[in-house]
Amino acid sequence: MSIATHEVRDDAVIDARIGVLLRSGMLSAGFVTCIGGVLLLFRDGNATADFHTVSGEPDRLRSLPLILLAAFGGDPLAIIQMGMILLIATPIARVVFSVIAFALQKDWLYLFISGVVLAVLIYSLAGHVR
């Protein structure tokens, strides 16, 4: 087997694993969000909607540790919020996986590019996470 064939096979394996990672992340996010939605309907399904006042998220849904505590405590809104966090985390996990894969392959150009993308993602999220 030539070096080029070996590299193509490695790329195919990495692509397949990235595909599994993305599918798993999306399905997990959808499943968690649906569970939260069903629980919310059971809890508040008969409530009348009030569209006259708009309020933001409660404080318990604004920081990751509090969201996790509330979600594992069975709070439907926190479970939905957890699904959204999983949805956001999926492409970030893909970039992290790419950084690791390029480092193992010693592909310095793509490692650098993926590292810059990861740094930009982390920087952009740093201002929003409490």
Question: Which pLDDT band holds residue 99 (cuts at 50, 70, 90)?
Answer: very high
Structural domain of 80? 3-42+59-126
Q: What total of structural domains would you count in the chain?
A: 1
Spell out the residues 6+ positions from residue 40 whose beta carbon is closer than 8 angstroms to its own: 76, 77, 80
Lowest average pLDDT, out of 21-25, 62-66, 71-75, 88-92, goes to 62-66
Q: Per the domain annotation, does 50 fall within a domain?
A: no
> What are φ and ψ of residue 119, in 5° steps?
-65, -40
Q: Per the domain annotation, does 52 fall within a domain?
A: no
Which residue would you say has higher pLDDT here, 97 or 49? Answer: 97
Q: Per the domain annotation, does 54 fall within a domain?
A: no
Question: Which pLDDT band holds residue 88 (cuts at 50, 70, 90)?
Answer: very high
Q: Per the domain annotation, does 103 fall within a domain?
A: yes
Q: Per the domain annotation, does 15 fall within a domain?
A: yes
Q: Is 22 exposed, middle or buried (0-12, 13-18, 19+ CB in 10 A)?
A: middle
Whether the pTM exceeds 0.85: the reply is no
Q: Per the domain annotation, does 66 fall within a domain?
A: yes
Residue-level length of the chain: 130
Amino acid at 33: T
